[in-house]
Amino acid sequence: MSKIKRFFTAMILIAAVTALSAGEQKTVTVRVDGLACPFCAYGLEKKLKKIEGVEKLEIKINDGLVTLYFREGAKIDKEEIAKKVREAGFTPRELQIEGESKKEIAAMKGQKISLNVKGMSCEGCVSRVKNTLTELDCVHDVQVSLSAEKAEFTCTDERVDQKTFVQAIEALGFKAELSKK
């Protein structure tokens, strides 16, 4: 085989291996609260780049999202990602590994709250209750059941008065009370 043919064969093989490797790169998207300015984001970038396996990352301040690109085969430690975000002075809320479901990071450490909700009559009511609770700052992992007349969620801020949740639901026109355990 001539030198030129060998060269092109080698180039094609390298390109194929590179393409395969790039396809196996895993991405992790983290929702970071407290991220309001580019100047502050620099510290976050540097912290996250120190994580083993991170090849590059992308920060979208307007969306409050950070996407980490891990090299093929790298171990993804969710706790370490959350820890680095906290060390940078921000709060990690949600983490999603490509191909998996979204994980509420702070929900692991929050308090579970259950509300009895009376007056819901359809899935539209369920959506309204769910959306209202989800918009509250400390609330994660909201589950609303029409048949059980219950709304369950996690709140990561112990300082929040639980009556706030009851008032938010009652403002929609439903009756709500904290479930007694």
Which residue stretch of 13-21, 36-44, 71-79, 165-173 sits at the interface with other proteins (rule: CB under 8 A)? 36-44
Among 11, 20, 24, 38, binds other proteins (CB under 8 A): 38
- Chain residues 102-131 in contact with other proteins, contact rule CB under 8 A: none
Which residue stretch of 44-52, 95-103, 110-118, 167-175 sits at the interface with other proteins (rule: CB under 8 A)? 44-52
Could you tell me how many residues make up the chain?
181
61 belongs to the binding site for other proteins (CB under 8 A): yes
6 belongs to the binding site for other proteins (CB under 8 A): no
The binding track of 149-178 with respect to other proteins, each residue x by CB under 8 A or -, is --------x---------------------
Cα separation of 37 and 130, whole Å?
30
91 belongs to the binding site for other proteins (CB under 8 A): yes
37 belongs to the binding site for other proteins (CB under 8 A): yes
In whole angstroms, the minimum distance from the beta carbon of 102 to other proteins comes to 15
Cα separation of 151 and 154, whole Å?
10
Strand order in the sheet with 150-155: 139-145, 150-155, 111-118, 175-178
In this structure, are strands 175-178 and 111-118 parallel, antiparallel, or unpaired? Answer: antiparallel
86 belongs to the binding site for other proteins (CB under 8 A): yes
Record the tokens describing residue 9, joined without a space: 């064969």
Q: What is the largest CA-CA distance in the chain?
A: 82
- HEC sequence for 92-140: EEEEEECCCCCEECHHHHCEEEEEEEECCCCHHHHHHHHHHHHCCCCEE
Q: Which residues bind other proteins (CB under 8 A)?
A: 31, 33-47, 50, 59-62, 64, 86-91, 93, 137, 157
